[in-house]
Structure 1
Amino acid sequence: MKVKATDENIKLAGSIIKKGGLVAFPTETVYGLGADALNSYAVAKIFEVKNRPSFDPLIVHISKIEWLEKLVKKIDARAEKLIRKFWPGPLTLVLLKSNIVPDIVTAGLPTVAVRMPAHPVALALIENAQTPISAPSANPFGYISPTTAEHVEKQLGDKIDLILDGGKCPIGVESTVLSLIDEEPTVLRPGGLPIEEIEKVIGKVKLQRSTDKILSPGQLPKHYAPRTPIKIFSSPDEIKEGDDIGVLLFKKTNREIKAKHVEILSENGDLREAASNLFSALHELDSAGVRIIYAEAIPEVGLGVAIMDRLRKASGQR
């Protein structure tokens, strides 16, 4: 059931979480599928509904720093600096977990990924539920992430207890995941907070491009994918034009492209706007009945790193 995110409905959603149910809710990044993070049975429903493999850990969402102190063993100086600067916001920190975090949340890893979302509906839901909320994206596993309540309703329908409609997610790509387990901070997943901004606070960080071991969400080589195949192109000359193709452009072009459906992420090439529109554009293209989607490569600076990460994973390209 999809409902507007009014105060009354947020209270209803909080009571559903308390009782072990599932609620889809907006964050500033994408819509999440939430359950009580301290209730193993409730968290298991997330994996069941999404058809998510058990080796893929979940992010825990909090509304107060006091909860972080309970969920992790230690908050070091680097974490404190980042929290002061970027929380609430699209930054997830990976730290050593405490014993109260169920193993199903962390896929058996000794670490837990935690963030404080900036969306007022998400924060109000966590407050009403009175518990941290585990929440991956509210979609079938591996498919395009949802940035509207309509995306959630179309993909998960009546498989979950409630969908809180809080409008379109403003950032549009998932949070940046930063591991602080080792001496060298490592970005496990680029996302809504540009790496350059993190480096201004704690110095140089490493970007982990690929791995054989899954340490955070979004690390599988194929993810965020439409059902229609995607091919990334750098020059329009690479497009095999026709009335059965879809094209995803970074910005407006004067060149005429013969295609069944064209989506433009940003008229003037603004990376924030492009990130915000990415998943919605992929949903539109995937619904257009095209044979293949040609996606334009984007400059890998700022949010462009996260956008290209999603496009490569959507195409299955490492």
Structure 2
Amino acid sequence: MLVKLYPDNPNHREFQKIADTLKNGGIIIYPTDTVYAMGCDITNNKAIQRIARLKGVSAEKGNFSLICNSLSNLAEYAKVDNSTFKVMKKNLPGAFTFILQASNNVPKLFKSKKKTVGIRIPNHYIPLGIVEELGNPIMTTSIRDMDEVVEYTTDPELIHEKYSKDVDLVIDGGFGNNTASTVVDCSEGDFEIIRPGIGELIL
């Protein structure tokens, strides 16, 4: 199913429908402040396994991140010191994925021995609205394209055409970007950019 959402008049009922889909173990594709992404409710392990299969990786080893709508519940999912928290606060919401030491909850969610977790708070009303309606973060992974020239598909209608049999809902929020988030590894205490992207890190 393809659902259109518009920034000037987002329909609250649509957000409820999206949250219900996630609560029922559904997989969604949605826009962020960077590329389009695929996501599910982090509390639903069957949905996490479904996404892992679609990506051709194991849930234990896949580099999935969590999309939150604020830093208020960060301690539930990650261990973060004061200096890292200050840098995150300066840069979020924004086009960054921060890699942090995982809390004890993360291995339970992914049924793995994950020691790190990626945290995203995109500067985009759709993922933030979904997380708010759902009541907990969503697991997320970028949609990559097999095309050698275009790394990320940006047209929601083409995305729907390609993934309609694999996912439960595609959210059309207009054309996406074709550059991903900047990945900053803070898990060892430094700020190491391991993938440059749209975000310009402010220290």
TM range (shorter): 0.7 to 0.9
In 1: Cα distance, 2:196 partner to 2:112 partner: 21
In 1: Cα distance, 2:20 partner to 2:116 partner: 28
In 1: Cα distance, 2:111 partner to 2:32 partner: 21
Q: Return 5+ residue gaps in structure 2 as ranges.
A: 6-10
In 2: Cα distance, 1:94 partner to 1:142 partner: 28
When residues 140 and 20 of structure 1 are mapped into structure 2, their CA distance, relative to the original with a 3 A threshold, is: farther
Q: Return 5+ residue gaps in structure 1 as ranges.
A: 202-318
In 1: Cα distance, 2:47 partner to 2:76 partner: 20
Which whole-Å deviations, capped at 9, do the CAs of 1:279-313 have from their partners, x for residues lacking one?
xxxxxxxxxxxxxxxxxxxxxxxxxxxxxxxxxxx
Q: How far does residue 150 in structure 1 lie from its aligned partner after superposition?
A: 1.9
Q: Which structure 2 residues correspond to residues 165-244 of structure 1 after superposition, within 5 A?
A: 165-169=172-176, 171-194=177-200, 198=201, 200-201=202-203
Give the TM-score, by structure 2 length.
0.85
Bigger relative contact order, structure 1 or 2 (CA pairs below 8 A, ≥6 apart): 2
In 1: Cα distance, 2:135 partner to 2:113 partner: 25
Establish whether residue 14 from structure 1 lines up as the match of residue 19 from structure 2.
yes
1:94 to 91, 99, 111: 99
Residue in structure 2 matched with residue 127 of structure 1 by the alignment: 132
Give the TM-score, by structure 1 length.
0.56
SS in 2 for 1:49: helix
Residue in structure 1 matched with residue 8 of structure 2 by the alignment: none
Establish whether residue 2 from structure 1 lines up as the match of residue 8 from structure 2.
no
In 1: Cα distance, 2:166 partner to 2:15 partner: 19
In 2: Cα distance, 1:139 partner to 1:104 partner: 24
Q: Which structure 2 residues correspond to residues 1-318 of structure 1 after superposition, within 5 A?
A: 1-5=1-5, 6-54=11-59, 55-73=61-79, 75-102=80-107, 105=110, 108-139=113-144, 144-169=151-176, 171-194=177-200, 198=201, 200-201=202-203
In 1: Cα distance, 2:44 partner to 2:175 partner: 29
Name whichever of 145-154 and 99-108 sits farther off.
99-108
Name whichever of 154-163 and 98-107 sits farther off.
98-107
**CA RMSD of superposed structures (Å):** 2.3
Which whole-Å deviations, capped at 9, do the CAs of 1:57-110 have from their partners, x for residues lacking one?
10110012122121112x223322222211111111111111222467496430
User: How many aligned residue pairs are there?
Assistant: 195
In 1: Cα distance, 2:34 partner to 2:183 partner: 13
In 1: Cα distance, 2:119 partner to 2:165 partner: 28
Which whole-Å deviations, capped at 9, do the CAs of 1:171-230 have from their partners, x for residues lacking one?
431111111122432112111113xxx2x41xxxxxxxxxxxxxxxxxxxxxxxxxxxxx
When residues 114 and 128 of structure 1 are mapped into structure 2, their CA distance, relative to the original with a 3 A threshold, is: same
Q: How far does residue 45 in structure 1 lie from its aligned partner after superposition?
A: 1.0
In 2: Cα distance, 1:192 partner to 1:106 partner: 32
In 1: Cα distance, 2:73 partner to 2:82 partner: 18
When residues 190 and 142 of structure 1 are mapped into structure 2, their CA distance, relative to the original with a 3 A threshold, is: farther
When residues 189 and 151 of structure 1 are mapped into structure 2, their CA distance, relative to the original with a 3 A threshold, is: farther
Which whole-Å deviations, capped at 9, do the CAs of 1:86-145 have from their partners, x for residues lacking one?
111111111111122246749643011101011101110111111110111235789832
In 2: Cα distance, 1:142 partner to 1:153 partner: 17
SS in 2 for 1:46: helix
Contact 1:57-1:106 at 8 Å conserved across structures: no
When residues 98 and 123 of structure 1 are mapped into structure 2, their CA distance, relative to the original with a 3 A threshold, is: same
One-letter amino acid matched to 1:15: D
